[in-house]
Amino acid sequence: MRPLSDTHLIEVYQEAKAMHLSEEFISLIEHAIEQRGLNANDDQKSPA
């Protein structure tokens, strides 16, 4: 399995929060984001 890009990881996190998935799953994503030194609140998409 290929690792997620930083942008995709942030998107997965935002979608998991929006879908109210389990806190355990969201915590795992948050941990991965922290390990990469990213900010989960960064909007890495270009304005449409």
Q: How far is CA 33 from CA 2, 17, 47, in A?
A: 16, 14, 22
Query: If DSSP codes are grouped into helix, strand and coil, which group holds residue 44?
Result: coil
Has this prediction a pTM greater than 0.85? no
Task: Assign domain 6-35 one CATH number from 2.40.10, 1.10.287, 3.90.1200, 1.10.3470.
Answer: 1.10.287
> First CA to last CA across the chain, in angstroms?
31
Q: What is the pLDDT of residue 42?
A: 55
Q: What is the pLDDT of residue 48?
A: 40
Query: If DSSP codes are grouped into helix, strand and coil, which group holds residue 16?
Result: helix
Span 1-48, pLDDT tens digits: 788 999 999 999 999 999 999 999 999 999 999 999 999 885 554 444
Q: What is the pLDDT of residue 40?
A: 84
